[in-house]
């Protein structure tokens, strides 16, 4: 299979400015890389951070954003040609000391599309071939899913999986608490439920909580309430369900300073606090609580590619629901979509689907 030498895309040209259509010319592709024909690319709050929040990309502008990518391999290793895949949001090098000790998330040679190089808001994207997660298309059809829907697996679902299973060590019978029920929290709640935990979801948005009440959340609470009252409600829930009052698994998935403060306030004896959400704002907490409760706090950056198949399997067998929480939109609506998501006007995770009828015109042509 051959890919086009010209790739249509949308590029970020300056912070806060509308993205513009462009055409890139691809050079020679490394034997270690693959060219993916993009089926869909999810819009993550990290993308909003790049465009609106003052977060700098590692690759200079202009740059095509987008790291939640699904698509089809059109050039690369023969065994992958024509295969439907989910692209890891972060691909470690696999050979450095960090990778060899299981800490690929801190690999200094990792590749992050839409940050280290051009991302998925395009007709095609070049990414490392290692770590690509092949999708069983028969199972995909049987699940009633479109390949574009699986774009959110690349971050919104795999990142909480890494936090819950690999960093958090969640086991059946645990109490899992999610502060923030949108984005990664949406899928975190479902994953924890699928793994046998009793799940509490907290958010200030009643609609988000209502949606998760039927998808894994055993108790939904308004995160805007008094923190002490919230703690009491969770304690009462744990007691009623026969759950331990120690060892709670708390996951901060809001990416908001108030949410992070609340999550820290819920620490109890032997608790684990997983920080998954991101904010540029500073948060003031009393770190001695970790000592007093013999608790742990750990951050999560992405998900190791070897864990992607397990998350895809959860989606394909219906253990986590995707379509109720995803909204496909044409890629040409990228600026309107970013603006709406930044204004908290969208209820579902937007996945942008390429809709280039012809090579982009009026845009700037750039080399790969």
In-domain check, residue 223: yes
Question: Which domain covers residue 354, as residue numbers?
Answer: 6-155+303-367
Mark whether 76 and 109 lie in a shared domain: yes
Average pLDDT over residues 297-323: 96
> Does 218 reside within a domain?
yes
- Tell me the per-residue pLDDT of 169-215, one tens digit each, with 9 for 90 and over: 999 999 999 999 998 999 999 999 999 999 999 999 999 999 999 99
Cα angle: 266, vertex 264, 269; to 5 degrees? 50
Q: What is the average pLDDT across 313-341?
A: 97
Q: Which of 274, 299, 324 is the last residue of a domain?
A: 299
Using pLDDT thresholds of 50, 70 and 90, give the confidence band for residue 367: very low
Q: Within a domain: residue 1?
A: no
Q: How far is 41 from 190, CA to CA, in rounded Å?
A: 21
Residues 35 and 146 in one domain: yes
pLDDT band at 27 (very low <50, low <70, confident <90, very high): confident
pLDDT score recorded for residue 258: 96
The enclosing domain of 262 has a CATH number of 3.40.50.720
Q: What is the pTM of this model?
A: 0.92
Report how far residue 329's alpha carbon sits from residue 331's, in angstroms, rounded to the nearest whole number: 6
pLDDT category at 28 given cuts 50, 70, 90 is confident
Of 272, 299, 326, the residue at which a domain comes to its end is 299
Q: Are residues 169 and 289 in the same domain?
A: yes
Q: Residue 365's pLDDT band (boundaries 50, 70, 90)?
A: low
Same domain as 176, residue 142: no
In a domain, 167, yes or no: yes
Antiparallel, parallel or unpaired: β 33-42 and 68-75? antiparallel
Torsion of CA 71, 254, 204, 286, to 10 degrees: 170
CATH number, domain of 326, equals: 3.90.180.10
Phi then psi for residue 79, to 5 deg, are -65, -15
> Would residue 115 count as lying in a domain?
yes
Q: Are residues 172 and 183 in the same domain?
A: yes
Residue of 210 and 365 predicted with greater confidence:
210
Q: In which band, very low, low, confident or very high, does the pLDDT at 234 lie, cut at 50, 70 and 90?
A: very high
What is the rounded CA–CA span in Å between residue 353 and residue 264? 38
- Please report whether residue 48 resides in a domain: yes
Co-location of 205 and 314 in the same domain:
no
Residue 244 shares a structural domain with residue 221: yes
Per-residue model confidence (pLDDT) at position 26: 87
User: What average pLDDT does this structure show over 234-254?
Assistant: 96
Higher-confidence residue of 350 and 365: namely: 350
Render pLDDT for 94-106 as a digit per residue (tens, 0 to 9). Answer: 999 999 999 999 9
Report whether pLDDT(368) > 60. no
Beta carbons within 8 Å of 5's beta carbon, 6+ residues apart: 25, 26
What is the average pLDDT across 76-103? 96
**CA atoms of 152 and 315, how far apart (whole Å):** 11
Least confident of 22-31, 119-128, 237-246: 22-31
pLDDT of residue 16: 96
Based on the domain organization, do 162 and 293 belong to the same domain?
A: yes
What integer pLDDT is reported at residue 357 of this predicted model?
A: 73
Per-residue pLDDT for 335 more than 60? yes
**CA pair distance 233, 176, nearest whole angstrom:** 14
Kindly indicate the confidence band of residue 360, based on its pLDDT and cuts at 50, 70 and 90. Answer: very low
Same domain, 264 and 310: no
Same domain, 313 and 275: no
Number of domains in the chain: 2
Is residue 170 assigned to a domain? yes
3-state secondary structure the chain: CCCCCEEEEEEECCCCCCCEEEEEECCCCCCCEEEEEEEEEECCHHHHHHHCCCCCCCCCCCECCCCEEEEEEEECCHHHCCCEEEECCCECCCCCHHHHCCCHHHCCCCECECCCECCCCECEEEEECCCCEECCHHHHHHCCCCHHHHHHHHCCCHHHHHHHHHHCCCCCCCEEEEECCCCHHHHHHHHHHHCCCEEEEEECCHHHHHHHHCCCCCEEEECCCCHHHHHHHHHHHHHHCCCCCCCCEEEECCCCHHHHHHHHHCCCCCCEEEECCCCCCCCCCCCHHHHHHCCEEEECCCCCHHHHHHHHHHHHCCCCCCHHHEEEEEHHHHHHHHHHHHCCCCCCEEEEECCCCCCCCCCEEEEC
pLDDT tens column, 34-48: 999 999 999 999 999
User: Is pLDDT of 334 > 70?
Assistant: yes
Q: What is the pLDDT of residue 361?
A: 41
Q: Does any domain span residue 95?
A: yes
| Number of C-beta neighbours around residue 136 at 10 A | 15
Domain-ending residue, one of 279, 299, 319: 299
- Shared domain check, 180 and 90: no
Q: What average pLDDT does range 12-31 have in this prediction?
A: 94
**Predicted pLDDT of residue 1:** 57
């Amino acid at each position: 299979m051959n890919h086009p030498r010209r790739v249509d895309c949308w590029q970020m040209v300056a912070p806060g400015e509308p993205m513009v259509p462009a055409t890139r010319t691809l050079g020679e592709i490394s034997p270690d890389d693959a060219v993916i024909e993009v089926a869909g690319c999810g819009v993550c709050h990290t993308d909003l951070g790049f465009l609106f929040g003052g977060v700098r990309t590692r690759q200079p502008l202009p740059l095509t954003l987008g790291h939640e990518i699904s698509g089809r391999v059109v050039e690369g290793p023969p065994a992958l040609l024509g295969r439907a895949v989910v692209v890891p949001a972060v691909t470690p090098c696999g050979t450095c000391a960090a990778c060899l000790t299981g800490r690929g998330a801190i690999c200094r040679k990792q590749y992050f599309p839409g940050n280290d190089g051009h991302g998925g808001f395009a007709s095609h994207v070049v990414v490392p071939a290692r770590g690509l997660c092949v999708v069983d298309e028969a199972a995909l059809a049987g699940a009633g899913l479109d390949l574009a829907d699986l774009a959110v697996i690349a971050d919104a679902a795999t990142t909480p999986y890494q936090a819950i299973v690999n960093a958090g060590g969640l086991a059946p019978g645990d109490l899992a608490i999610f502060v923030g029920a949108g984005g990664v929290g949406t899928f975190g709640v479902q994953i924890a439920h699928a793994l046998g935990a009793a799940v509490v979801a907290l958010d200030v948005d009643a609609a988000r909580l209502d949606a998760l009440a039927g998808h894994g959340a055993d108790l939904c609470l308004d995160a805007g309430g008094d923190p002490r009252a919230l703690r009491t409600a969770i304690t009462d829930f744990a007691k009623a369900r026969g759950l331990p009052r120690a060892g709670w698994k708390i996951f901060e998935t809001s990416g908001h300073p108030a949410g992070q403060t609340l999550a820290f306030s819920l620490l109890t004896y032997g608790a684990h606090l997983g920080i998954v959400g991101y904010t540029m704002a500073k948060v003031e907490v009393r770190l001695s609580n970790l000592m007093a409760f013999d608790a742990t706090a750990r951050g999560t950056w992405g998900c190791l590619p070897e864990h992607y198949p397990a998350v895809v399997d959860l989606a394909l067998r219906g253990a986590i629901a995707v379509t109720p929480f995803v909204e496909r939109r044409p890629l040409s609506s990228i600026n309107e979509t970013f603006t709406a998501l930044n204004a908290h006007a969208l209820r579902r995770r937007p996945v942008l689907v390429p809709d280039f009828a012809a090579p982009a015109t009026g845009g700037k042509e750039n080399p790969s």
